[in-house]
Chains A and B, each alone.
Chain A
Amino acid sequence: MSLAYQAVGWNRQKKVYDGWLAVGILLYLAVFMVLGAVLFPSITAETLLIRGFGTASFVLLHVILYIGPAARLFPRLLPLLYNRRHMGVSMFVLGLAHGVLALIQYHVGGDQFPLVSLLTSNGDYASVVNFPFQLLGFLALGILFLMAATSHDFWLANLTAPVWKALHMLVYVAYALLVAHVALGYLQNHAAPVTTALLGLGVLGLFGLHAAAALREGATDKEAEADNGWVYVARVDEILENRARMICAAGERIAVFKYEGKVSAVSNVCQHQNGPLGEGKIVDGCITCPWHGYQYRPKDGASPPPFTEKIPTFRAKVTEGKIYVDPKPLPPGTEVEPALIQGEGVA
């Protein structure tokens, strides 16, 4: 949880995560360089570096985009989501190294400024085989720079989570640009059936995984109807202890938690990155976001001191073993007495 800004709020998990990330990147680059030098002895070191950095960045982008929907479908993968922003910044740095080296290799040495040369040397936009593919990579790198530069919690807090998330959704535009960059660039100059097949599998896999996650999300987003101002949630025994059931009412999701013989309802949206609180669990008496561990007290939706985040709460009641929620949100941080399961009272 945020209290004060610092460059990186290091903890053991982040160090382990970043350590594995660094090892993975270095290992990939080493294997790529050695295999490249052995299989293609005529290739220059500069070209190998350009391709090594470029492919490492693109592979990492695939991993980043796979993690989101995969963690929704398979919660055991949630730890991968925890420090994904560092993975994103690493991916941008690799892409930048690829772009700068390519700019030096192909656009320095002429009579124009390299960036001007990049933007103006090929105007064959109507052609597939001669399309100025480098421009696509340049645009994608611009988007990734914007994302890397705003990845810190400082920007997340000041832009607000919805704006920040909307900005970072541009990663899909960057991904499409990069697929086009490879398809209209590298694949036009190299007979590369394996690369084509791998890229096709990568795109299809991402599409399939996102579609599967979206189908599951769609079921949760079915709007629940209120009866006399109360919305039916579930039977008490249908919710596991310290877990929640999510419903959609009045246009937004509500997470209804069962714990210690009580029921509390809060907004499903975490204040940090709008993570799905209803997919988290209660740890040490607090609702814990599955994405980054932000915590809220179930009865008032406020983070425990010294933290200051607050989320809206909802009234809940238990009648004849059935849980109901009043879909009208209460102001963030409003204390609501939990509904007692045995007493079947109204909160």
Chain B
Amino acid sequence: MIRPLRKRHQLMTFVLFPAALVVLILGASQQRNVPTQSPLPGPLQGDSGQGTLVWEQAVPTNPPLTARVYDQAAAARLELAFEQTPLIADGLVYWQADGEDGTRLLLGPLQSGPNSRFFLPEAGRQQAGRIVIHSLAHGEAVLAFALPQVKRASAAGAGGSP
């Protein structure tokens, strides 16, 4: 190369490579705390509709949603049944306890179809709280509704609802 171009070449490399490195370090250091997939309690796949319905509620949202809790031998199961597939591409479903603490427990990611099923943690059966669907991309809750303390099937009666 001719000398002026060599000098410009050197200037560009000596400025842009360190600048790229700075941006990389900045990006890596500011990395947001994203829950990885492995510790997620996996959503229940397919129709695992065994168990006794102990709670059901229609949630006024678009598309309409029906939330149900089934009691099973090992654990309770939360089912979110939308009338159509919701336009929430990255929804994470949490159970949140009532009260000032408001600790959220991650139940799992919203599935791509209209129906999603999750194990409900023991705490979710023992105290009242709410179900929150959080969009990671938007950084906010896109849907929330109350989930009362759920009675066991033996107390609610077979197929019963609150």
Using CB atoms and an 8 Å cutoff, list the residues of chain A in contact with chain B.
42, 128-130, 162, 165-166, 169, 172-173, 175-176, 179-180, 182-184, 187-191, 196, 199-200, 203-204, 206-207, 210-211, 214, 217, 221, 248, 251-253, 269, 274, 276
Contact in complex: A207, B17 (CB < 8 Å):
yes
Given A169-B9, A217-B6, A252-B3, check contact A175 B31 (CB 8 Å): no
Q: A residues within 8 A CB of B50?
A: none
Q: A residues within 8 A CB of B13?
A: 172, 207, 210-211, 214
B30 within 8 A of A: yes
A141 CA to B32 CA, complexed, in Å: 27
**A contact face: mostly helix, strand, loop, or mixed:** helix
A341 CA to B12 CA, complexed, in Å: 42
Contact in complex: B34, A203 (CB < 8 Å):
no
Given A166-B5, A274-B1, check contact A42 B37 (CB 8 Å): yes
Query: By CB atoms of chain B within 10 A, which of A182, A210, A248 has the most?
Result: A210
Quote the shortest CB–CB distance from B63 to chain A (angstroms).
Answer: 17
Chain B residues 1 to 43 lying within 8 A of chain A, measured CB to CB, are: 1-6, 8-10, 12-14, 16-21, 23-28, 30-32, 34, 36-37
Using CB atoms and an 8 Å cutoff, list the residues of chain B in contact with chain A.
1-6, 8-10, 12-14, 16-21, 23-28, 30-32, 34, 36-37, 136, 139
Quote the shortest CB–CB distance from B47 to chain A (angstroms).
Answer: 19
Contact in complex: A188, B23 (CB < 8 Å):
no
Contact in complex: A129, B32 (CB < 8 Å):
yes
Q: B residues within 8 A CB of A187?
A: 27-28, 31
- What are 11 pairs between A and B in contact, CB < 8 Å? A128-B27, A166-B8, A172-B12, A173-B16, A175-B20, A179-B20, A179-B24, A200-B25, A203-B17, A248-B3, A253-B3
A129 CA to B26 CA, complexed, in Å: 10
A199 CA to B32 CA, complexed, in Å: 18
Which single residue of chain B is at the shortest CB-CB distance from A267? B2
Closest 4 pairs between A and B when the two form their complex, measured CB to CB: A183-B27, A207-B17, A179-B20, A128-B30
